[in-house]
Amino acid sequence: MARPNFKSFKKKALDRPDVAEEYDRLSLAYDLRRKLVALRQSAGLTQEDIAERLKTKKSNISRLESVNSAISPKLSTIVDYAEAMGYEVKIDFVSLHSQKHNKSLQRTAEKRRR
């Protein structure tokens, strides 16, 4: 019997309501950190470059960008990080009802594709 790949493991795990709920809860933090890294890399900057611009240590930038960090960054830190690269932060609010409905539709579509 072959070992499941990550994609099939994830699909099976997300079929469990408790796992899907936790996944949804954490997805915003993961998305933010991935966007921070992508923004820095697209600007051609290193963590050291950003640390210098923000007058902080590289380890602080590393922690800010780490998806494994248990620390939730302050909004002002995210704003400073974005501004150091010439960007501004925009925040959007989405109805929980429509968000849950959309995620439910996405999961249903994924199950149909299997």
Output phi, psi for 72, to 5 deg. -95, 120
Domain boundaries, the chain: 16-113
Q: Give me the half-sphere count of Cα atoms (radius 13 Å) on the Cβ side of residue 89.
A: 15
CB 65 within 8 A of CB 37: yes
3-class state of residue 54 by DSSP: helix
C-alpha distances in angstroms, 77 versus 21, 24, 56, 88, 91? 28, 24, 11, 12, 14
Domain 16-113 CATH (choose: 1.10.599.10, 1.10.10.10, 3.10.20.600, 1.10.260.40) = 1.10.260.40
pTM, two decimals, is: 0.67
pLDDT tens across the length of the chain (114 residues): 677 788 888 888 888 888 888 777 778 888 999 999 999 999 999 999 999 999 999 999 999 999 888 788 899 999 999 999 899 999 988 887 776 556 665 665 565 555
